[in-house]
Amino acid sequence: MNKLTSRIDKERLLLGIAAPLLAIVAALLVTALVILATGKSPGAAFSDMVTYGFASDSQVYILNKATTYYLAGVAVAIGFRMNLFNIGVDGQYRLAAFVAAVLGGALTVPGWLAIPLIILAAMVTGALWAAIAGILKVTRGVSEVIATIMLNSIATAIIGYLLQPSQLGQLDKAGTLVSTKPLPESSWFFQIDTGPAGVLWGFIVVAVIVGIGYWFVLGRTRFGFDLRTVGQSETAAAASGVGVKKMIATSMIISGAVAGLIGMPTLLNDSHQFSNDFPAGIGFTGIAIALLGRNNPVGIALGALLWGFLERTTNHLEFQGYDKEILGVIQGVIVLCVVIAYEVVRRYGLKRQQQRVGAELAARAAAPTEMQEVA
């Protein structure tokens, strides 16, 4: 019995890895074809990506990027586990980063107090912004997809309005960049100087803590079990005693709170202010990464690293005379393949397990079956 269960488990693990691997291989193939079509050599491009991507300065760059992407992936994954599509992560983190930057610029308290306050402000902002969609969904039945997409636009408009020199923004000396008042140096997050390779953002520690928290809450607590139950079957969840509506609203709020963290590595470790060139669109990157990582905390980390790697290396390819659109092609194809591969592998796995269980039971019962005749 034990042997069998371990075998089924191993197979599940194998199937779990098969899908993203399949997707990445397919994406590489397609990319190779695209590069070939532009008349260049894919082999040279790939080898350049590998050598450049594993250089030590690239590694630090990738880790820093992945910190942001990881938080985005987790924020989206929390929704996914609930069958909620939080497209609004993008607006939630931008608004959260803006509010946090304004607060951080205005605070005059010591860093040990200011940094937690800034992070808290970001999480609360993200949570409240997401809560609008959550509450609309449970009270009025508004699809969270529609609500969050619209909230993204509203967030953009609000930030645009408030980030004017006459409001909360200020024009830099060159007169080209509008930003919030910069954070005092005491409010910067710690960072690790790795010498010539660059500076590693200290916020990676927070990202790791978030990952562990995500795993623990979902996998090891009653609350997490309730959340997963709702995600798998709302009807079964209701019958089992989970307040489905409350759960939907709660998980939307948690997703938003984590989304609030996305802008923090950039704000606290890098830019120290919110300007009109603050990175945008990371919420959508998070969707791709959560899909790639199968909502699994380790998987999301791998996905985030891969995304960082692709960005770093394709940037470099541009200098080697390749087209910069290759990045988009690879990323797009990966996401597309991932979605297809997961569904195929999932169906195959379910069917295979059913057959295995059937075969196993039939084999066990095979001994006492001889034909009987009544009357």
Partner 1 sequence: MANRDIDITVRAGTVHALCGENGAGKSTLMKILYGMQQPDEGTITIHGEQVVFSTPGDAIARGIGMVHQHFMLADNLTVLENVVLGAEKLHGIGGKARKRIREISDAYGLGVRPDVLVEQLGVADRQRVEILKVLYRGAKTLILDEPTAVLVPQEVDALFDNLRELKAEGLTVIFISHKLGEVLSVADEITVIRRGTTVGTAEPSTTTPKQLAELMVGSELPTPETEESTVTDIALLEVDGLHLAQTDLDGIERVILDEISFTIHKGEVLGIAGVEGNGQSELVEAIMGMRDPDAGTVTLDGADVSHVPTRRRREAGIGYIPEDRHRHGLLLEAPLWENRILGHVTERPNSRRGLLDPKAARTDTERIVADYDVRTPGIDVTAASLSGGNQQKLIVGREMSHSPKLLIAAHPTRGVDVGAQAAIWDYIRAARRDGLAVLLISADLDELIGLSDTLRVMYRGRLVADADPRTITPEELGSAMTGAASGHLEHTEDDAR
Binding site for partner 1 (CB under 8 A): 1, 4-5, 8-9, 219-226, 228-229, 232-233, 235-236, 238-243, 350, 353-362, 365, 368-369, 371-375
Nearer Cβ to partner 1 (39/141): 141
Nearer Cβ to partner 1 (37/365): 365
Handedness of CA 104, 105, 108, 110 (dihedral sign): positive
- State the minimum distance, in angstroms, from the CB of residue 20 to partner 1: 19
Distances (CA, A) of 261 to 72, 149, 282: 8, 19, 12
Nearer Cβ to partner 1 (92/229): 229
- State the minimum distance, in angstroms, from the CB of residue 238 to partner 1: 6
For residue 367, the 8-state DSSP code is: T
Instruction: Indicate the pairing of strand 191-193 with strand 199-201.
Output: antiparallel
Nearer Cβ to partner 1 (184/243): 243
- State the minimum distance, in angstroms, from the CB of residue 290 to partner 1: 18
Alpha-carbon gap, residue 28 to 333, rounded angstroms: 9
- State the minimum distance, in angstroms, from the CB of residue 221 to partner 1: 6
Nearer Cβ to partner 1 (5/108): 5
- State the minimum distance, in angstroms, from the CB of residue 65 to partner 1: 34
Alpha-carbon gap, residue 264 to 100, rounded angstroms: 8
- State the minimum distance, in angstroms, from the CB of residue 248 to partner 1: 16
Nearer Cβ to partner 1 (181/346): 346
Give the CB-side neighbour count of residue 12, counting CA atoms within 13 A: 10
Query: Containing H/E element for 26?
Result: helix 2-37
Could you tell me if 71 and 64 are in contact, meaning their C-beta atoms sit under 8 angstroms apart?
A: no
Nearer Cβ to partner 1 (90/226): 226
For residue 181, the 8-state DSSP code is: P
Give the CB-side neighbour count of residue 123, counting CA atoms within 13 A: 14
Residue the block writes with tokens 């402000």: 121
- State the minimum distance, in angstroms, from the CB of residue 223 to partner 1: 7
For residue 368, the 8-state DSSP code is: T
